[in-house]
Structure 1
Amino acid sequence: MIATSATPTTVVLWRDPRGWPDAVGGLWRRSLRFRTITITLLLTSFAIFITSVIMALVIQNNLFESRRDEVLADALRAVAEAQTRVDSAEVTDDPSGLRALWRDVQETIPRASSSSRVIAFPIDDTPVGSGVQGFRTTDLSGDVISSGLRERVVSFPDRQSWQSIAIPMPDGSTAPGIAVGQQLFLPGVGAFEVYIAYDLADSQQTLQFVQSTLWAAGLVLIAIIAGISWIVLRLVSKPIIEAAETSARLAAGDLDVRLPVHGEDELATLAESFNAMADSIESQIKELGELSLVQQRFVSDVSHELRTPLTTIRLAADMLNDQRDQFDTTTNRTTELLHTQVQRFETLLGDLLEISRYDAGSVLLELEATSLAELAEDVIEQMRPLAQERGSELRLVAPGGYSPVDMDPRRVRRVLRNLVGNAIEHGEGRPIVVTTDSNQHAVAVGVRDFGLGMTPADAERVFDRFWRADPSRQRTIGGTGLGLSIALGDAKLHGGTLAVWSELAVGTNFVLTIPRRPGGIEGPSPVPLEPQESLTDVTQPIHLTELREMYFDAEPEDRS
């Protein structure tokens, strides 16, 4: 599953490297295996890096200290041997004898030490005529000896002093080294500063080998840990992935899907619990489905069975209503109420039959090319007397919606009558604005009132069957409580939407949107759900004839 989803992403990233951050972020959010492997590798790499750095520093320090102790002991032994030869020699005032002794010292120090790099400086001016001067055994320059080291050697005649230096090599490069200095006393001449320079290139190579070995071992260890983590995580995450896929299939309606149970560990217990839950859900859903079918069948059968006696009652009520002027006042009023309630009962029965058809999935559309604007004007004209009776003014604003669209005009007309009727009933006698508009994808009509309005919680339930925002309020127009539910079903049959916006003490706006072509709505509705105008901003209505003239007088590209 993960590999399948990652393959197209990899191709896209190869074409556009800027997509890497988004793809990695999406993989981080979606894949538990990727997150776990990434966190494991990062923490492991950090731990190995810190460990390798500490080990490299410790090895470097120990290697340097060990080498330093060796060269200090070597230099001390060489100078001590040279001092012993000087002390044991019979020194006279003969300059030639001093020079011979000094040459012997120059040969003894390199021979007694492991380094041939020796430099000597007289501390004080040598006696005139002695012929004894400082010396150096190689091309090592005295500039490598710092003044600070020389000051320490002069200040402490009985101690060794050392300093890390860079030794020039024949090829022009430099190598790390240590310069060790101490005093050598030549009788009859004075004290000399003797410095022996030791090359640490071999120690540097050893240190580099150890460090490269550490880093290589760290990389190999990271790779091994990554492999082990992948194997372990795969063993653990595979059942989790199977559970996720099975849950998705179960949520999609495949009630027969189950998880395989392997072993007796925690994952097996999880699979058994999941399967038990799935069995319970399947049982309850089947039971609810059977109850729903029974309920739908009951409503359908009762509705059909009631039509015959209702027809008889309707005929009798009509006859009595036609002759109610011949009755006394009480009987007259009773006859009128009977006629009204029989009409409402007949409407309720028709709505129940329509709902049962929706539940059974047996509703079919009778499509005709219809102008939504003209349909809205017809409904407004039919509802205008009722609106005038309630003190509301119906206004049509139709900047678009004239071009015919395939729809079921009977059902759309029923939706509009229901929406306008609700607006009249709850509009508090204020103007009601019906707006039609269109774009290249859809046509839409909005019914806006400035009445009581609803809370967001009430607006979410407004399409529920037999639901009212205020149960204590009586219906004055005679609705059945199923109108908006049926209207929502009609909108969905067309592949469209029926949405509502409402705010307390501000009003309500219903927007019906129907696509021009099958397949659903692309883009926003031509009529915005949240209205921009207030009660004081409502303008005078535009007559359909004027809008039609504006439409046909406009340029083709300006028509919508």
Structure 2
Amino acid sequence: MRGLAGIWRRSIQARVVTSTILLSALVISLTGWALLRDVASGLAESRRTAAISEARSGFEAAQARLDAAVETEPGTQSQSLTQMVDSLTSARGARRTYELVLQGPLATAGGQVPVRSSAAILPDALPRDLANTVKSKAGTYWRYSKLGLLGGKDREASVVVGSQLRAPGTGDTYALFYLFSMADQQSTLDLVRRALLLGGLAMVLMVGGVAWLVSRQVLDPIRMARRIAERYASGNLEQRMHVSGEDDIARLSTSFNQMAASLQSQIRRLENLSRLQQRFVSDVSHELRTPLTTVQMASEVLYDSRKRFDPQTARSAELLKGELDRFESLLSDLLDLSRFDAGAAKLALDTIDLTQVARDASKDPTIKRKGIKVKVIGADEPAVVEADIRRIDRIVRNLMTNAAKYSGSDRLEIEIAQNDDCVSLAVRDFGVGLSGDETNRVFDRFWRADPARTQGGTGLGLPISREDAQLHGGSLVAWGEPGEGSEFILTIPKPDGSAATPALTSVYA
């Protein structure tokens, strides 16, 4: 069942063919049922009309025989009626299409009504309501019934027609019944039913085959487009669809090829731009390193001698030193990004305890200057991983600094959790928070959530932190709700574990 369910979910052709077969089977079944009902009704009506006409002729002949009889003694009259039943039965040729049942005289002293029949008919073969009606009043009456014979297992459908007979000599009344078998009509109906069943089955199979053929003609180009799209996704942009004819599928293939060519051109252009940008950043960062070092040395000399300057010059020396430090930090970030882009970033692995990293980060001077209270959770047990202490410390301090600068929160929480595979460190604030789109864009380079809240940041801290986390085989994710704060979760795998399942789940997840 799971395999069939999988085929149903994945295959459009299977759904189209199955739905077509089921719907056509339903329509054909309803049509066949209606036709079969009409045929059965027509056969029954035709047989009933013929049976009533033939029975009336038989009733008239039997009544005429009684009228012509001169015997008045009951015994002699009973013998005459027996001969009449035998003669009426044998008068229709070798193949009888009906049976006769004669009951009477109806009014007897002992309450037992004599019954004579042309065959070994079961006592309850006559419909009870029809027998009572015929006995109670004159006229011709009929019913559909099942004809059963003694020793027989099955009952045949039949039309039973009954009427009263009156003996003029004695005044006795008799009930005469004609039982017409409908075996021929039943055989005809069975033949029609088999023909409808076989024809319907053939029609369903034919419709299913047509649906399969048509859906295949339509879906084959779509399957080809899917396979080519998968190759595009894997980086192979040279594949093209085969165009044959001028129909809608051919136009779709042409449009698909044009789209692929346009994508290939755009991707190549973006790749070239990306390579140029990376090269530019790398070259500029390296070229600026030497003059920056010289300027930095000169600024330090001026900064150290600021007490001998006038206030305006001393303030200028302080501003120069601060901006040069900020520029050096930006240059360092750009160099790190160029290493990540070039795949040249390396780890200096060592055994570190993330709980100690969290405690050290909670004592950051920036946090203390802003008067933010920091609570460390889950630091009772060591959380040991193999990592580059410089990069891990940079990640945590970036998260703390961002929370202090941009969140507007007066308290922070650092939580440590671990399982058999990995260790997670979360930094949560209770400030302005992040929206759903911002949680994805917060790791974009140079992106800032709200320029009005900017306090001199470069927009590179979080992108570098995510690159550092991924370099360790871990992850860095962000969660948040507007007005309720935000949370950043760093996950680092243990030496023999996997970071696929974080040890800590965000309260916003």
Is this a same-fold pair by TM over 0.5? yes
Deviation larger for 105-114 or 47-56: 105-114
Deviations 1:91-147 (A, max 9, x none): 3657787566545423321123435632223466599xxxx9764333335543345
- Structure 1 residue 30 and structure 2 residue 7: aligned? no
For 1:509, the equivalent position in structure 2 comes to 487
CA distance in 2, matches of 1:474, 1:97: 130
Map 1:228-307; keep pairs closer than 5 Å: 228-307=210-289
- Structure 1 residue 528 and structure 2 residue 505: aligned? yes
- Aligned in 2, Cα 1:124/1:517: closer, same or farther, shift over 3 Å? same
Q: How many residues align?
A: 501
Instruction: Find the residue that maps to 1:144 and give its secondary structure.
Output: coil
Instruction: Find the residue that maps to 2:451 and give its secondary structure.
Output: coil
Instruction: Find the residue that maps to 1:178 and give its secondary structure.
Output: strand
- RMSD of aligned alpha carbons: 2.9
Q: Does structure 2 retain, via aligned residues, the 8 Å contact 1:466–1:482?
A: yes
Map 1:38-49; keep pairs closer than 5 Å: 38-49=18-29
Q: Does structure 1 retain, via aligned residues, the 8 Å contact 2:106–2:175?
A: no
- Aligned in 2, Cα 1:168/1:311: closer, same or farther, shift over 3 Å? same
Q: Does structure 2 retain, via aligned residues, the 8 Å contact 1:401–1:437?
A: no
Q: Does structure 2 retain, via aligned residues, the 8 Å contact 1:118–1:196?
A: yes
Deviations 1:29-56 (A, max 9, x none): 3221121112101111101111121122
- Aligned in 2, Cα 1:292/1:141: closer, same or farther, shift over 3 Å? closer
Instruction: Find the residue that maps to 1:486 and give its secondary structure.
Output: helix
- Aligned in 2, Cα 1:93/1:294: closer, same or farther, shift over 3 Å? closer
Instruction: Find the residue that maps to 1:261 and give its secondary structure.
Output: coil
CA distance in 1, matches of 2:136, 2:107: 17
Deviation of the 1:398 alpha carbon: 3.8
Q: Does structure 2 retain, via aligned residues, the 8 Å contact 1:400–1:436?
A: no
Task: Pick the aligned partner of 2:303 from 300, 321, 325.
Answer: 321
- Aligned in 2, Cα 1:141/1:346: closer, same or farther, shift over 3 Å? closer
Task: Pick the aligned partner of 2:88 from 90, 100, 109.
Answer: 109
Q: Does structure 2 retain, via aligned residues, the 8 Å contact 1:56–1:210?
A: yes
Q: Which runs of 5+ in 2 are unaligned?
A: none
Q: Does structure 2 retain, via aligned residues, the 8 Å contact 1:119–1:195?
A: yes
Question: What amino acid maps onto 2:347 in structure 1?
Answer: L
Map 1:116-127; keep pairs closer than 5 Å: 117-122=99-104, 125=107
CA distance in 2, matches of 1:504, 1:232: 53
Deviations 1:288-327 (A, max 9, x none): 1111111111111111111122122112111111211111
* Percentage of identical aligned residues: 37
Task: Pick the aligned partner of 1:420 from 380, 387, 400.
Answer: 400
CA distance in 2, matches of 1:270, 1:289: 28
Q: Does structure 2 retain, via aligned residues, the 8 Å contact 1:400–1:437?
A: no
Deviation of the 1:26 alpha carbon: 4.1
For 2:117, the equivalent position in structure 1 comes to 136
TM-score normalised by the chain length of structure 1? 0.81
For 1:17, the equivalent position in structure 2 comes to none
- Aligned in 2, Cα 1:124/1:506: closer, same or farther, shift over 3 Å? closer
Map 1:394-409; keep pairs closer than 5 Å: 394-399=374-379, 402-409=382-389
- Aligned in 2, Cα 1:147/1:518: closer, same or farther, shift over 3 Å? closer
CA distance in 2, matches of 1:55, 1:79: 36
CA distance in 2, matches of 1:93, 1:451: 123
Question: What amino acid maps onto 1:91 in structure 2?
Answer: V
Map 1:341-380; keep pairs closer than 5 Å: 341-380=323-362
CA distance in 2, matches of 1:393, 1:104: 124
For 1:558, the equivalent position in structure 2 comes to none
CA distance in 2, matches of 1:125, 1:430: 114
For 1:160, the equivalent position in structure 2 comes to 140
Q: Does structure 2 retain, via aligned residues, the 8 Å contact 1:411–1:490?
A: yes
Instruction: Find the residue that maps to 2:70 and give its secondary structure.
Output: coil
Deviation of the 1:197 alpha carbon: 1.6
Task: Pick the aligned partner of 2:410 from 430, 451, 454.
Answer: 430
Q: Which runs of 5+ in 1 are unaligned?
A: 1-19, 533-560
CA distance in 2, matches of 1:429, 1:219: 74
Instruction: Find the residue that maps to 2:159 and give its secondary structure.
Output: strand
For 1:535, the equivalent position in structure 2 comes to none
